[in-house]
Every structure is written in C-alpha cells, then in structure tokens.
A and B are shown apart, each in its own frame.
Chain A
C-alpha cells in the first residue's frame, strides 16, 4: 500500500500548481468572474496545449490516456486556485462520449475536444429532478429519421458557450423511472435551444436551457436508446470524484490561509492560534482536509483500476461535502470581520465550496447511496 502520489503524479500536481499560479492568480480569478467563459481564451488554449483536456481520453483520440487520479489532481489544484473554466463540463462530457459513444462519435468529438476546439456540457437536472435523478420529464419523440426534444434543463454548466450539449431525455415510459432514458448530443446552437444564464453564488456559468422542438438526427443518440441510465451512473461517479477533488483543493487553501492568519494576527498579546479553541478549530480543519483527501483519492484510485467504486465515491462526496461546510465556516470565524470583506479571498472559497457541494449530489444524497451499499 502507498497512499502517496508517485513521481508522475507529483509532477502533474506541481505543473498544474505552477501553471495556475502564473496564469490565474487571484486577481485574474476575480477579473474573470464576469467573463462569459470564466477564463481567458489564451489560458484555455494553453491548457489544451498541455493536454489537460484529454487527460482521461484514450491515446487513439489524441488523449493522454490518464486516469481518474490524474483528473482528480487537476481538479484539486483548480479548486485550490478558485479557477473556473469550461474544463470540468467539457472533460466530463468527453467521458460520457468515451463511455457510451460509437466509434464515429468518439472520432468526431474527442480529438477536437483534446485540441480545445469543443466546449461541452451535460444537461441532466430539471426543476423537479436534481443530483442526476432519473425522474426526467424532458422528452424526445421519434419523428422519421429524427428525434424531437422538448423540455427544460437546469444548472447546465457553460451551456451558453457550449458547442455540444449532452441532453438526457425520456424516449419511453418504463416500469421504473430509470427505464426509457436516452442521451442525445445536441448542437449548442441548434434551432429551438435557448439558454438563460442563472445568477449564481459563485458566478459559475450555470444555465437554464430550454429545448423547444429541437430536431436532432438519430445519429446523435449517445449510447443505446432507452438505456442511458447505466452510462449516466458511471459518468456521475467520475463527476462526483472530480467535484470532491475540487472541493478538497478549496479546503486545502482555506486551511493554509487561515492557519497563516492565526499565526500573524494577534489579540490579547498573542497570536489567535495561541488560544486553544482556535488551535483546536484549525486541528479539526486539518482532520477534515486529510480525511477528504484519503477518501477522495481512494475513490479515484478504485475508478482508475476499473474496480467497483459506488460505495467509496458516495463516501467521498458525502464526507467532503460536510467537511466543506465545517472548514469554510471556521475559516470565516477565525478571520473575524476581515473575512467578511469583499476584497478578502475567504468568501470566494465559501461560495465555491457550497457550489461544488451542490453538484452531483450533496451529503444527504450520497449517504442514501452508502446506506444501500452497506446493505440497508
């Protein structure tokens, strides 16, 4: 057993760190909050050149053929740097294409994605169905050689700039809500697709996407008609681990900045960390950070080996979600009034932590899955 990164993983980690420190310091992160992409085109291009967009794509589609641990490493550092971009939504869509797509689809999509020429996103959640629920009401009706999609999707990352939207729709009613679901690869600019940007806590480019009589050819079906559920569950596992890693990165930064503050800031003639209650808060935060790390990377490792990971994925997302609440609120508490200022970075992490917590299932959602996994 070895719970540490190997040389290549260490190298990847430090190269992502260096890149983001140089290309996206906090001043740039703040400037980019109002940017429609969340990062500059220049940075996006550089990321593509480094091959990150193809981090988990197979070699035959020009990917780096890395695994989930590599993706988690990148996501962790992005979280640590509060970096937003269409990276996650694109890569996770790429995973869906790779998992469920035909040879033609993979060939036409993945190399372009690796090249940074294709922004993609998943459209699954709806107003009464979130966290990847199967209770989907968006429909796709067969019409000759086409399908016609109608419905409204919510919380769709980067849909406003996406070239491809992978939309989950109901093609038939089955016994269970999981039956009869199908993925479609829809052109972001197709007739009948309307995006409305939502105004979110972390300015993270989430959209409401309305599909109104959107006609797509049968060739745009991703995977099997009526059988999207298994692929979706798989993709959700990858996404949950990636999001857990992103949260973890944020927590690492919060712990760093708070521990530093508790050393520098003095009251009553001693550093804040000299008060036992504050020292204990920080110790608990460290427990949360290290706990988040070992469970997140265990899930990533299982997925990287192709082993069953349902239980650990949900344990990771649940633990990290709760750790996020504790670590960020204590971070604020220790910073006192200083942390409540706009110009202080603490609140960016507070906002991001809540955002990642709410993506691909919060603690309650994943605890239910853990309950099933332990035999309840």
Chain B
C-alpha cells in the first residue's frame, strides 16, 4: 500500500502548477467569474483559445497516447492535472473538455475504428474539436434505454428522427455523440447505436433552454430526416448500450469536483479569518469551525474514493460500482458545501456576483444555485445508489 504520488508525478504537478500560474488568463477571473452551467459567446472565445493552448502542450489529453495528441500519461497524471486545474476554481476549461477529451476520446480509442481515432481524437486533444452528449430525451432521463429517437438504414445512410434534450454545449459543439434506436423490435438495451454526427448536417436544429442561473448551457436538439453516413456509427450497429457503458465508466472517475470543493473550502476558511461578526472573527466561532472541519473530512474521503477508482483503472481492473459509489458522496458533498457556505455567510450569501458587498465575489450564491443540479446530471444520485446496491452488494431491485 502506498498513499503517495511518485516523485515523477509530483514533478509533473509542479510543472502544471507553474504553467497555470503563468498562463491562466487573468481576465477570466476578473471579467467572468463563471461557475457551473454558465458561459456566453465572449467567454467561449477565451475557453476555445485557452483549450488550444492546453492542447499544444498536450495537457488537454494528459492520459491520451502521444500519437493522438496527448501526453501519454498515466491515470495518475490525469488526476494530477485535473486536481491542479480545479484547485484554481472554475477556469475557462470546463465540461466541454471532459465530454470531448476525457469521456468520448478514450471511448473512441477503445471501441472506434482506426479512421475514427485519426479523424477525431487528435483534433480533440488539440482543442480543435468539441463534442456534446446526445443521450437524454424528454421521456427518457434515468430510463435511458427507453429512448425513441430512431435511426433507420437507407442504402449507405441512416435517417435520424427524434429529439434529444438537456444537451449541454450542443450550440458550441462540432459533433454530437448520439444514441439512437436502430432496432425497434429488439429488447430496449439491444437496439441502440451510437453515432458521432457533424452538427452541421442538414436536419439538425438546436433550440436553447435557459437554465435557472439564467444562462444558456443546455439545449433541445431536434432531428428531422437527418441523413448520416454509415461511417458515423461508433463500434457496431446495435452495440450502443455497450459503447455508452464504456463512456460512462470514464465519466464516473472524476477528481475535478473534490479538488474544486477543496478550493472553495479554502476560500471559506480565508473568509472566516477576515470577517468579523459581533466583534469576533467568524473563524473563532465554534459552530462555524466544526462545520468547516466536517466539510474538510468529507471532502478528503471523497477525494480518496476517487483515488481508489483511479487505482483500479490504473491497474486495469474492472470497475463495477466504485465510480458510482464515489459519485454518491461527491453529489451529496456539493449540496452540503453549498448549504454550509450559506450558513456561514449568512445574509451575505444572498448577494449575487458583482453585487455591492458580495462576499467571495458572489461565487457562493452561484454555487448554491448550481447545487440544485448536482444530484441530477450524469445520472441522478438515486440511480447511482441503485448501481451500488445491485453491482456492489448484489441486490436485485425491481
């Protein structure tokens, strides 16, 4: 057993840390101060050019092989990079990177054709391509296998009809990673196929959904007789469920959230040491001290649970429920962190970004709003609990 990073990994951490100190665009923090599910046209420009910069250094795809534009690093190098990046809070790099480089690209490397790897993974790792995830539909959220968007074979093409929803970044993406039904007669899991489709294909319409932070981050995507070549299929026809499971396994290993929580906890600690109430620093209040200490304990445990998943991945072992288990605690921690920050800031937490008197740049008001989504996106917490109960404990749930 060894809970430490290797000297080489530590050196890599230092390299990333120095790079970020020097290169992170300062205007980002001054001008936008965005949290989750927020961005706009102007910030997107910065995101794109910053991701390209990361791509040039190979940092965007730390864990991807060098021949595909990555750094050829291990799972732990990836952890180190994500931790360093998210220890700076919400930087210009965000979920577009996770979707494109951390989730879809490794899946392509596992299950895609040589041609697809060449065409997509390298530009993705360079920051030249962005993908979005087309899974959820209005009537198929947690019950993804019930999806009805159809893809019907027609000569060398498939004709796609239907609707996806909650599609984050569809309005920015170059390609959509689309799950569609190709065999309506097969059992639900067995008739789905994944396609990677150019968003400029005729027949695709993107309609914005404004979220509760008043931002445009997710969308509805409509397919109206949209014709795509057979070469857009990932892996094989009707193998979509398997491909999605491969991609989901990459999605559930993230260390970015615990690292970001640590950063926010640090902000709160700093705040409590500088703000007085009733003549005493908040940091002297025993109730507040315990709340912050408890957060620190639970964030550490969350981090370690994610390390455990990484270890298994690193050793090439099969992951069953471990990613979901870590995600349960992680989701709950976000909500807890958000609530506790409100209890500590008191009425000041009501002050939004850029308001007079806003504490910690008004970030906490925004994270409090973000928290309403944290138990939902990427598979709701209840579904993760079902996974743990079934895969981890062997229960059969009806």
Contacts and interface: CB of A to CB of B under 8 A. Distances in A.
Given A337-B373, A339-B372, A358-B347, A198 B279 contact: no
A198 B355 contact: yes
Nearest to A354: B342
Interface in B210-234: 210-212, 214, 218
B376 A196 contact: no
Nearest to B214: A342
A208 B382 CA distance: 42
B346 A362 contact: yes
A129 B166 CA distance: 43
B376 A340 contact: yes
B355 A343 contact: no
B365 interface: yes
B142 A358 contact: no
Nearest to B287: A364
A268 B143 contact: yes
Given A268-B142, A275-B382, A337-B376, A199 B346 contact: no
Contact of B372 (A199, A200, A350, A358): A350
Contact of B278 (A135, A269, A343): A135
A269 B139 CA distance: 11
Nearest to B285: A364
Interface string B138-162: 0111110010000000000000000
B127 interface: no
A277 interface: yes
A362 B343 contact: yes
B357 interface: yes
A318 to B, nearest CB: 12
Interface residues of B, number: 52
A249 B322 CA distance: 41
Interface in B131-185: 136, 139-143, 146, 165-166
A172 interface: no
B212 to A, nearest CB: 4
Contacts of A40: none
A206 B350 contact: yes
B346 A130 contact: yes
A61 B196 CA distance: 73
Contacts of B375: 329, 332-333
Given A154-B357, A342-B210, A358-B342, A200 B352 contact: yes
Contacts of A198: 350-351, 355-357
Contacts of B143: 267-269
B345 to A, nearest CB: 9
A352 B353 CA distance: 17
Interface string B366-397: 00110111011100111001000000000000
B152 to A, nearest CB: 25
Nearest to A321: B343
A199 B279 contact: no
B270 interface: no
A155 B211 contact: no
B251 to A, nearest CB: 16
B350 A354 contact: yes
Interface string A134-162: 01000000000000000000110000000
B35 to A, nearest CB: 13
Grouping DSSP codes into helix (H, G, I), strand (E, B) and loop, the A interface class, with mixed when no group exceeds half, is mixed
Contact of A199 (B142, B342, B351): B351
B287 A342 contact: no
Contact of B347 (A154, A343, A344, A363): A154
A198 B140 CA distance: 41
B326 to A, nearest CB: 19
A147 to B, nearest CB: 24
A202 B212 contact: no
Size bin of chain A's contact surface: 35 or more
Contacts of B146: 267-268
Given A200-B352, A275-B382, A342-B214, A128 B277 contact: yes
Nearest to A335: B376
Contacts of A201: 349-352, 365, 368-369
B382 A278 contact: yes
B339 interface: yes
Contacts of A350: 212, 369, 372
B324 interface: no
A22 B346 CA distance: 35
B347 A125 contact: yes
Contact of A358 (B165, B210, B350): B350
A341 B342 contact: no
A127 B212 contact: no
Nearest to A358: B347
Contacts of A196: 356
B357 A337 contact: no
Interface string A263-277: 000111100000101
A354 B349 contact: yes
B12 interface: no
A277 B372 contact: no
Contacts of A177: 278-279
Contacts of B44: none
A67 interface: no
A206 B352 CA distance: 12
A158 to B, nearest CB: 15
B276 interface: yes
B5 interface: no
B278 to A, nearest CB: 4
B29 interface: no
A208 B352 contact: no
B286 to A, nearest CB: 11
B354 A199 contact: yes
A159 B352 CA distance: 19
Contacts of A357: 342
Contact of A336 (B37, B142, B352, B354): B142
B278 A133 contact: yes
Contact of B350 (A131, A333, A355): A355
Which are the 4 A-B pairs with shortest beta-carbon distances? A199-B355, A347-B212, A267-B143, A342-B210
25 contacts: A125-B347, A128-B278, A130-B346, A131-B346, A198-B355, A199-B351, A199-B354, A199-B355, A199-B356, A200-B350, A201-B365, A267-B141, A268-B142, A268-B143, A332-B375, A341-B211, A346-B372, A347-B372, A350-B212, A351-B369, A358-B342, A358-B347, A358-B350, A362-B343, A362-B346
Given A133-B277, A201-B368, A267-B140, 14 more contacts: A127-B357, A129-B277, A135-B278, A198-B351, A201-B351, A201-B369, A268-B143, A278-B382, A325-B339, A329-B335, A333-B380, A336-B376, A337-B166, A346-B372
Interface of A: 125, 127-131, 133, 135, 154-155, 177, 196, 198-202, 206, 208, 266-269, 275, 277-278, 325, 329, 332-333, 336-337, 339-344, 346-347, 350-351, 354-355, 357-359, 362-364
